[in-house]
Amino acid sequence: MTKNIVTGLVAHVDAGKTTLTEALLYQSGQLRKLGRVDNGDAFLDPDQLEKQRGITIFAHQAELDYKDLALTILDTPGHIDFAAQTEQVLQVLDYAVLVISATDGIQGYTRTLWSLLRRYHVPAFIFINKVDSVGADPAGVIQELQAEFSAGCIDFTSGKVTTGDTAEAISIQDDDVLEKYLDAGELTSEAVRQLIKQRKVFPCFTGSALKMEGITNLLDGLQEWTLVTPPAEGFAARVFKISHDKNGNRLTWVRVTGGTLKAKSEILPGEKADQLRVYDGDKFTIQQEVAAGGVCAIAGLTSSFPGQGLGGQADNPQPQLQPVLSYAVKVGDRDPHVCLKALQELADEDPQLKVEWSSHLQEIHVHLMGEVQREILEQLLTERYDLPLKFSQEQILYQETIDQAVEGVGHFEPLRHYAEVHLLLEPGTPGSGLVFADNCREDILDHNWQQQIMTSLAAKEHRGVLTGSPLTDVKITLVGGKGSIVHSVGGDFREATWRAVRQGLMELRAGGHDVLLEPWYQYRLTIPQDQVGRAINDLQKMGGTFKMAPNDGGTMAVLTGTAPVATMRDYATNVRNYSHGQGQLDCVVSGYQPCHNAEEVVAEKDYEPTADLPNTPDSVFCAHGAGYPVKWDQVPSMAHFPYMK
């Protein structure tokens, strides 16, 4: 019986991931000729930009059959600037193959990938590549994996897994399995498969993808040690990618997780699957249906987005990896609306771009991960849309939160309208985003009105009052309010809700309880021992933390810690210069923390919250048949519903 498995290849850039994909396809007979990334003829780098750059920029699909294994391979980008695409792919995998260079070992982005694999509970095989290169140390890499990632990273290269030292090393990873192993003296193959599926064991294979060494071992391992994911009942699928083909057709890439996806069926309200395409490289076949476990691209959907669940599949939460840089688009003599439309189409493919039109600056802004993504975006705009646009110097994307609870109130009462909303704003846990809750009795506010308020809370991106940056890590609870059977209509509760959020934030600002956040790097700095003093001095000036690894007697020292993106983003160049090329800095965005120079940033932004009319904190009351504005600080004393403070 054929076993259908979807696997994704993930790696730090230059680890040889795409070359490994090529080798797997060739070894299984899928390809008659081996392609090369550096020759621009790799099977899964079909895009012209990928050929020019020699890197994978977009996720691609390939199919192979090996013995009783039908393997769908999703090749992912290896550069951290495109990590958001990789994160989306991880959410539809049965297993991942993590590729690590035998000469370089664990890199900064490797750690990010490992964290993402853990976040999405993806079992992983590990292929230690380039064992034929000078300085390769596959045994040392496995030791590094065991020390830093998991003791369950075990060498499966010999194939003798259920007996001997390998079996003992595997059994130790689970108490129940160990007990049975000690009783029987042998490890069952099914127990090994379960431990791998449970992410307690990570099979390691060694080889050279370029020299076709170790490829059969890896294929045998995937065939022997994988388990099929049970399908959900009824139709279900998850979107992991949006793209456009050469003819401009919009494609929604999905993994079917339950039931059967049929062509011409309604997938979203009013949207049908016009065509189901199963891709293999840049070629595809049209299918009438795709069963659970399959991967395909759907033509005909217009409102789908990465991370969306279809049918019985729930949507995924917001991706962990978010851009931390903002760029202004220089349109020159081009029509801004044409440029905006092109960028919005690209943002449809990658929602992390977050294309915004700043009406008061008359500028387009985009959110990006880094310089390489910016360069690729400029090329895409030129080649796909004939728009040779440039981008300004990057700006840090700040966020805002609070450190104390407050009740905010919003009142909206122009003539013949009425709504009042009371919201409790509380500090949330770091990384939680905005969380909305309802704690209001229906004898106070009708159920329908409460629904309007909760919908309004989720309907916009709320902004802080320090710099106008997005609000995050706040729990907002509906605690009270008032409506009118006669006068409360349509958007009244929306207006009151949004004003209540801003009014509460203004109260906190007056008391110094709002907090500006900035993105921070988690870094690993490898530096010659005689440069440690210089490095520590630099880190202190950047406002970073540091910890030095124990010295093993070598010539290089390792410093780890965190530092603001704003101060460290150009530091890699300095490291290379003062260490004469010997030093290396690996940085990964670890999240948002309080801004190291908040007062300076707030002064520079010079944001006036009361002048931001689409986000006003003020309210509207009515007297003598006419509505009139009331400043935010006067609203609590005039509120119609009792203020809970």
Task: List the domains of the chain with CATH numbers.
Answer: 3-225 (3.40.50.300), 236-311 (2.40.30.10), 325-397 (3.30.70.870), 515-600 (3.30.70.240)
The confidence band for 164, taking pLDDT boundaries of 50, 70 and 90, is confident
Task: Provide the pLDDT confidence category of residue 85 given band limits of 50, 70 and 90.
Answer: confident
- How confident is residue 185, by pLDDT bands cut at 50, 70 and 90? confident
**Is 55 a residue whose pLDDT tops 70?**
no
Whether pLDDT at 35 is above 60: no
Q: Output the CA–CA distances (angstroms, integers) from residue 153 to 126, 148, 185, 196, in the order listed.
A: 8, 10, 22, 10
Q: Which residues contact 37 (CB under 8 A, 6 or more apart)?
A: 18, 19, 45, 54, 55
Distance of CA 434 to the CA centre of its chain: 17
In the chain, what percentage of residues exceed pLDDT 70?
95
- Model pLDDT, residue 645: 57
- pLDDT by residue (tens digit) across 382-426? 988 999 988 887 889 999 999 999 999 999 999 889 999 999 999
pLDDT at 50: 57
Eight-class DSSP state of 317:
P
Label residue 32 by pLDDT band (50, 70, 90): low
With CA atoms as reference, report the closest residue to 520 among 500, 501, 539, 507: 539
pLDDT above 80: residue 361 = no
Question: Which neighbouring-strand residues pair with 212?
Answer: none
- Per-residue pLDDT band at 376 (split at 50, 70, 90): confident
Q: pLDDT band at residue 28, thresholds of 50, 70 and 90?
A: confident
Q: Which pLDDT score, from 0 to 100, does residue 334 have?
A: 87
The number of beta carbons lying within 10 Å of the beta carbon of residue 600 is 10
**Confidence category of residue 36, pLDDT binned at 50, 70, 90:** low
Q: Using pLDDT thresholds of 50, 70 and 90, give the confidence band for residue 552.
A: low
If you ran DSSP here, which 8-state letter would residue 515 be given? E
Question: Cβ(529)–Cβ(582) under 8 Å?
Answer: no
Asked if the model's pLDDT at residue 98 lies above 90, the reply is yes
**8 A C-beta contact, residue 97 and residue 8:** yes
Look at residue 595 in the predicted model and tell me its pLDDT. Answer: 95
- Taking only the tens place, the pLDDT of each residue in 501-544 is 999 999 999 999 999 999 999 898 999 999 999 999 999 999 99
Q: What is the pLDDT of residue 56?
A: 67
Strand pairing partners for 243? 251
Confidence check: pLDDT of 479 > 60: yes
Query: Residues 237-287: pLDDT tens digits?
Result: 999 999 988 888 999 999 999 999 999 999 999 999 999 999 988 889 999
Query: How many residues in total does the chain contain?
Result: 645
What is the distance between the alpha carbons of residues 331 and 337, in angstroms, rounded to a whole number?
A: 10
* Residue 554 confidence (pLDDT) above 80: no
Who wins on pLDDT, 551 or 178?
Answer: 178
Output the six-digit token pair for 529. 């021992």
Give the pLDDT confidence score for residue 109 in this predicted structure: 84
Given pLDDT bands bounded at 50, 70 and 90, which one contains residue 172? very high
Q: Provide the pLDDT confidence category of residue 183 given band limits of 50, 70 and 90.
A: confident
Which pLDDT score is estimated for 561? 93
CB 94 within 8 A of CB 229: yes
CB-based burial, 183-193: b 16+ in 10 Å, e otherwise: eeeebeeebbb
Q: Cα–chain-centroid distance for residue 395? A: 20
Q: Which two tokens stand for residue 482?
A: 């008032």
Instruction: Give first-to-last CA distance, the chain, whole Å.
Output: 67
- Other beta carbons within 10 angstroms of residue 195's beta carbon come to 23
The overall average pLDDT reported for the chain is: 90
Residue 307's region, left for phi above 0, alpha for psi from -120 to 50, else beta, is left
Q: Return all residues near 380 (Cβ < 8 A) that are at least 6 apart.
A: 49, 346
Question: What is the distance between the alpha carbons of residues 390 and 381, in angstroms, rounded to a whole number?
Answer: 10
Instruction: Tell whether the torsion through CA atoms of 358, 361, 364 and 369 is positive or negative.
Output: negative
The tens digit of pLDDT for each residue in 62-74 reads: 899 999 999 999 9
Q: Give pLDDT, residue 100.
A: 95
Q: Output the 3-class SS for 297-308.
A: EEECCCCCCCCC
Taking 60 as the threshold, does the pLDDT of residue 43 lie above it? Answer: no
What pLDDT shows up at residue 590?
Answer: 84
Type of residue numbered 451: Q
Rounded to 10 degrees, the C-alpha dihedral 621/627/632/637 comes to -30
SS3 percent helix, strand, coil of the chain, rounded to 5, is: 30, 30, 40
- One-letter amino acid identity for 172? I
- The band of 477, judged by pLDDT with boundaries at 50, 70 and 90, is very high
E-strand stretches of 484-616: 514-528, 547-548, 556-564, 584-594
